[in-house]
């Protein structure tokens, strides 16, 4: 038995606990009997944390990583400098610098503090561009990450950190788990300011638009993605951490939709009459991206269950409430 299974009520550290997925994960773990320490450079933006402890620390410093990992049984490392396609295509150096430091120092601090298990949050951006050039994309399998041609900056540093997890497990015996997220959305996520992902941006645009009216979409709208609701995400993270599988795993749905189809779902939920205006000059990311869940189903005997249409309902409701007094603004992109 490892350290996790020996503890009746283990301590779990969630980095990035001031962010979207981290905040929800803290609440999920607390509800499932864990004591939780959250850490971030900022507090949660939209509501208070459920963490037993919350530390405001900059994880680009090793001493801070050693402080927050002390006496932890589990480390869920979600902290990252990231955002939608507009942000990650314009910030290669900053993203690579910030995330590389955090990932390396968190692994090293976890090793020094004898953490039981370490989960790293990676991304579908690690997959090669050459496999994502068609909207009718073949679902991406975990082994497709090599030969490597990841997203510049963000995808490259994620792939490097995945290998670091492998090396720390092989050389030092640190139990590591790697999860590759595919487009997570839901309430309490960033919805404006440039770092929002496509579902949140789409919900904001529709909520702020007049009816009848129009919203702008980056690209021709035919680029495709799959999107995973936050409740499925945090359950999947927990299941992967507890599993015996040591290699990277996709975590997403295989419900492939175009960006225009995403927009139409949001518009339908809103009850408004909205037209789409496409801007072909803006970044739109890879042409198609979808998750192959074959290995996830085999390892966990589970996969995300919440359809996009079902997940958009609470997401749109929350964002519409946040933007009640706002006016039409920025554009919509897709990761």
154 included as an active-site residue: yes
How far apart, in whole angstroms, are the C-alpha atoms of residue 193 and residue 299?
A: 38
Token code pair at residue 259: 């960006």
Query: What does the chain come to in residues?
Result: 335
Residue of 53, 34, 20 whose CA lies nearest to 241: 34
Q: Are 37 and 98 in contact (CB under 8 A)?
A: no
Alpha-carbon dihedral sign for residues 315, 317, 319, 322: negative
Distances from the Cα of 126 to the Cα of 145, 161, 247, 259, 303, angstroms: 6, 11, 14, 21, 21
Token code pair at residue 160: 């490097």
Residue of 305, 233, 242, 186 whose CA lies nearest to 28: 233
Q: Are 159 and 126 in contact (CB under 8 A)?
A: yes
Token code pair at residue 175: 């139990």
Alpha-carbon dihedral sign for residues 168, 69, 80, 241: positive
Q: Are 167 and 231 in contact (CB under 8 A)?
A: no
Options 28, 34, 127, 154, the catalytic residue: 154
- What positions carry a catalytic annotation? 154
């Amino acid at each position: 038995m490892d350290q996790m299974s020996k503890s009746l009520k283990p301590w779990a550290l969630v980095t990035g606990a001031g962010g979207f997925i981290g905040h929800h994960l803290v609440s999920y773990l607390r509800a499932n009997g864990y004591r939780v320490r959250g850490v971030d450079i900022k507090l949660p933006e939209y509501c208070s944390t459920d963490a037993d402890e919350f530390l405001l620390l900059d994880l680009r410093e090793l001493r801070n990583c050693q402080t927050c990992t002390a006496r932890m049984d589990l480390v869920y490392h979600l902290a990252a400098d990231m955002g939608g396609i507009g942000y990650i295509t314009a910030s290669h150096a900053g993203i690579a610098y910030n995330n590389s430091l955090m990932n390396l120092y968190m692994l090293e601090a976890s090793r020094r503090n004898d953490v039981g298990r370490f989960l790293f949050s990676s991304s579908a951006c690690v997959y090669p561009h050459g496999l994502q050039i068609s909207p009718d994309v073949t679902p991406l399998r975990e082994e497709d990450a090599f030969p490597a041609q990841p997203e510049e900056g963000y995808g490259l540093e994620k792939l490097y950190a995945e290998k670091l997890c492998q090396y720390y497990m092989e050389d030092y015996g640190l139990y590591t788990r790697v999860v590759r997220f595919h487009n997570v959305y839901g309430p309490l996520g960033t919805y404006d300011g440039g770092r929002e992902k496509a579902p949140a941006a789409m919900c904001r645009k529709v909520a702020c638009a007049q009816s009848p009216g129009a919203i702008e979409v980056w690209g021709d709208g035919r680029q495709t993605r799959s999107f995973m609701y936050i409740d499925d995400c945090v359950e999947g993270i927990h299941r992967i951490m507890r599993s015996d599988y040591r290699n990277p795993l996709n975590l997403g749905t295989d419900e492939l939709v175009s960006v225009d189809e995403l927009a139409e779902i949001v518009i339908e939920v809103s009850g408004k009459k909205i037209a789409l205006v496409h801007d072909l000059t803006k970044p739109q990311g890879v042409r198609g991206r979808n998750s192959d869940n074959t290995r996830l189903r085999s390892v966990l005997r589970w996969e995300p269950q919440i359809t996009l249409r079902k997940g958009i309902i609470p997401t749109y409701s929350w964002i519409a409430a946040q933007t009640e007094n706002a006016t039409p603004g920025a554009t919509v992109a897709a990761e």
